[in-house]
Amino acid sequence: MKIGLEVHVALPTKSKLFCSCSMADTDAPNSQICPICLGFPGSKPMLNEAAVSSALGIANALHCAVNNSISFVRKVYFYPDLPKCYQITQMDGAIGSAGHLDIDGKKVRIRRVQIEEDPAQIVREGMLTLLDFNRSGTPLVEIVTEPDITTEEELRSFIANLRSLLYYLGVDINKEIKADLNISLPPKDIRVEVKNVTGIKSLIEATRFEIERQTDAIKNNEGIARETRGYNEKSKLTESLREKETDEEYGYIYEPDLTTFEISGTKFVKATYVGRIASELAEGTDVNPRTIREITMLDRHSLGLIDKFKGKYGLRSIIHGIQRFKKYGSEEHASDAEIEKIIGLVESGAEVTREMVLDILAGKDVKVEYSRLTDGQLDKMIKEFLEKNPKLLEEYKKNSKTINLIINQIAQKNNLHPKDVAKRASALLNSA
């Protein structure tokens, strides 16, 4: 069995993809509309930079090759939710390609990450078919995978990992994941598409149904049609909608109203970092979840410093060093070498004070000399500290991370190296 996914995610922007209409939640249908998102003839789309930035974060988080010169195409089709008869989307000029998302030690390849607009919403009320254009022009990112998912467990892991990645990127994931499924079974591997499945539960049910249906068809020597099917949430069945359309049938043409958009240079540096950090967080490296918030607060120069010193120092230490510097130093007068000294001090476990920052700026050598104590002396000190601070001990029993607070307080008060304190403190608290 081979499963490929096309996942649609709404980007967290204040306005729509090609106009300035609001993306705020509203109960009043057709209240956030304009000639552009209504698709009036003669209206011209204007690209929302915030959507590009957000999509760039996702492309980076999915380890994609980023296209520095993105462009758009018109996917031509007729449907009431799309009066201008084409959806603006991306193909060769897509923002990201050839990425991957790790699931349980396996890589699911990402073919493409593309930006596109959502059409209007069709609401059926009895005999009536109503259209709400508030949704028209919602910025979406479509994440297209290669057919690398081979089991139900992998499908679950993929969605779970993608959701956690999007969470760290600040993309709203309260709404259910929407996806199109491509399922094919050996030996013939005929690709059947199941469109517009919402939520992991429905994705699993639709997959199970399709596997059963196709397995039976193969057993009974019935052919499997290359087709597009819909998923019925009530009956939990997939139903044939139409023959699978080809790219040619969509008559893709280059979107002449949008020029090629350059995303190289410094403007989008932050999105790139945020994307990379989000993937580290989601893949469970030791980056603290607070880090991503701190990174999004940093300016371009600081992000450049992270790039320069990462690998040599821990990410937390670099951010902490930059923050110390911003608090106490005057950035205009600081060289990268001086900031590196601060980062080095943070890395050594020292509490970097105002005096230390000013000394470094004045060209003085700042070294931290720690007191050295025997294990016995350390143990005694830690025990006394815990006796005086019973609340911290209580806290620790509830949340083991409190140990860092305990270690830092003891180390700073007594001019000790935090690592020395940490060794004894964890031994003592674990045995307690």
Least separation in angstroms between residue 56's CB and Zn ion is 23
Question: How many helices and strands (H and E) does the chain possess?
Answer: 14, 16
Which range binds Zn ion by CB under 5 A, 11-19, 289-297, 311-319, 397-405? 11-19
Q: Which of these segments, 27-35, 55-63, 304-312, 330-338, binds Zn ion (CB under 5 A)?
A: 27-35
Q: Of 16 and 63, which has the nearer Cβ to Zn ion? A: 16
Bridge pairing between strands 73-76 and 96-103:
unpaired
Q: Which of 3, 7, 10, 37 binds Zn ion (CB under 5 A)?
A: 37
Closest CA to 178 of 10, 427, 429: 10
Taking CB under 5 A as the rule, does residue 19 contact Zn ion?
yes
Q: With CB under 5 A, what is the number of residues at the site for Zn ion?
A: 5
Could you tell me the two tokens for 337?
């070498």
Query: Helix, strand, or coil here: 10?
Result: strand
- Closest distance of CB 129 from Zn ion, Å: 22
How many CB atoms are closer than 10 A to CB 36?
Answer: 21
Cα dist from 237 to 181, 234, 243, 287, 431, whole Å: 14, 8, 18, 43, 57
Residue 40 or residue 79: which is nearer to Zn ion going by CB? 40
**CB 178, CB 162: distance < 8 Å:** no
Q: Which residue lies nearer to Zn ion by CB, 20 or 353?
A: 20
Largest CA distance in the chain: 84
Cross-sheet strand order for the sheet of 106-117 = 65-66, 96-103, 106-117, 139-145, 2-10, 178-184, 192-198, 227-232, 237-243
Interface region with Zn ion, contact rule CB under 5 A, candidates 35-43, 300-308, 377-385, 414-422:
35-43
Q: Which residue lies nearer to Zn ion by CB, 19 or 165?
A: 19
Q: Does 21 bind Zn ion (CB under 5 A)?
A: yes
Site membership for Zn ion, residue 108 (CB under 5 A): no
The smaller minimum CB distance to Zn ion, of residues 139 and 344, is found at 139
Torsion sign over Cα 386, 387, 391, 395: positive
Nearest to Zn ion of 135, 178 (CB atom): 135
- Nearer Cβ to Zn ion, position 20 or 404? 20
Considering beta carbons, is residue 21 or 64 the nearer one to Zn ion?
21
Of 30-38, 67-75, 93-101, 327-335, the segment contacting Zn ion by CB under 5 A is 30-38
Question: In this structure, what DSSP letter does residue 310 have?
Answer: B
Task: List all residues 6 or more positions away from 412 whose beta carbon is below 8 Å from its beta carbon.
Answer: 351
Is residue 34 involved in binding Zn ion (CB under 5 A)? yes
Q: Give the binding range for Zn ion (CB under 5 A) out of 32-40, 47-55, 105-113, 354-362.
A: 32-40
| CA–CA gap between residue 197 and residue 155 (Å, rounded) | 13
* From 16-24, 181-189, 284-292, 422-430, span contacting Zn ion (CB under 5 A): 16-24
Q: Residues in the site for Zn ion, rule: CB under 5 A?
A: 19, 21, 34, 36-37
